Amino acid sequence: MNSMERLLHDEMTRLMDRLATSVPEGGIERMRAVNPTLRLRLDEIDTALAGLRSSLMEGYGRWNRALDDLENLWALAAWRSAHSEEAAEKTTALAA
């Protein structure tokens, strides 16, 4: 489980804990049965949350790839710099 998955899992766990303390057992099922508009709204929110979670995970994946790209570019720049210094030292030594 990556950092984003842990964060989202923790957020969902906290929500479930809050609901468990504030909604009586079986209350959601009763509310859904009595109020069809509430049922539709809850279903919409569930769908929206699933889509947002997917979006966050995709964005986090892009974030990680961008971090890797940046790290690789810095490593390449460091390697090229070291290689250039090495070549310059050899040239100086040969000229002397």
Q: In whole angstroms, what is the distance from residue 68 CA to residue 42 CA? A: 39
Give the whole-angstrom CA distance, residue 4 versus residue 6. 5
pLDDT tens, the chain, 96 aa long: 889 999 999 999 999 999 888 888 887 788 878 888 988 998 999 999 999 999 999 999 999 999 999 999 999 999 998 888 777 676 666 665
What is the predicted pLDDT for the residue at 95? 61
DSSP string of 18-42? HHHHHS-TTHHHHHHHH-HHHHHHH
- What integer pLDDT is reported at residue 75 of this predicted model? 95
